Amino acid sequence: MVDKNEIGAKIKNLRESQEIKKEELSKETNVSLDLINSIENGDVVPSLTPITKIAKALGVRLGTFLDDAPQNGPLIVKNGETNSVVYFSGEENQTDVSALEFHSLGAGKNDRYMEPFIIDVHTEDGEFNLSSHEGEEFIYVLEGEIEVKYGQDSFIVSKGDSIYYDSIIPHHLHSYNGEVSKILAVVYSPF
């Protein structure tokens, strides 16, 4: 399992090895300096959006923060069982609790451009802040229903349905009616 401390340490090491100051990274990514400090210190459960922005600014793929032991050949995950789980909040402004459990299906695959995940979605009903980052996302609902807010639109996506969108448009994905859901997500983020 990759935890928030490991992600923060990897970001800090990369940033320092490139001699980039936190203030520069904040300006480049439009991620607050306070949030960068909190992520690097392992104090928060970040959402995917700031991590994606930080990866792009550092010139690395998103998977760089999720991998432990890269391999060059094919990667096989049996029965969707993976030991690589990353917890994200689902909200840029909510950093104290995880609402999304990302089970990486690609962790360890060298030089990948797509990030495939099985994600357990357990968000509460309420107001959600939309966020954006470069790339694309493909979502296939395995269990339950999710709501995807995309720009001014809202889509209910049920078991067996999929949605594919440009993630540069402000968006948010969460459980529909507070129901626990499970999705297959493939995230492409150029770097």
Q: In the predicted model, what is the mean pLDDT of residues 163-175?
A: 92
Domain-wise residue ranges, the chain: 6-66, 85-188
The pLDDT value recorded for residue 147 is 92
Closest to 70 (Cα-Cα) out of 47, 117, 104:
104
Tens digits of residue pLDDT in 30-71: 888 988 888 888 887 677 778 888 888 988 877 777 665 555
- Residue 3's pLDDT is what? 58
Contact 95, 38 (CB under 8 A): yes
Assess whether pLDDT exceeds 50 at residue 97. no
Please, is 190 exposed, middle or buried when counting C-beta atoms within 10 Å of its C-beta (0-12, 13-18, 19+)?
exposed
pLDDT tens for residues 113-140?
Answer: 888 988 888 776 667 788 888 889 999 9
Res 109 pLDDT > 80: no
Tell me the pTM.
0.64
Architecture, CATH, for domain 85-188: Sandwich (2.60)
What does CATH list as the number for 6-66? 1.10.260.40
- pLDDT > 90: what percent of the chain? 26
Q: Looking at residue 151, what is its pLDDT?
A: 93
For 12-22, the pLDDT digits (tens) are: 888 888 899 99
Mean residue pLDDT across the chain: 80
| Pairwise CA distance, residues 11 & 6, whole Å | 9
Mean pLDDT of 139-153: 94
pLDDT of residue 169: 94
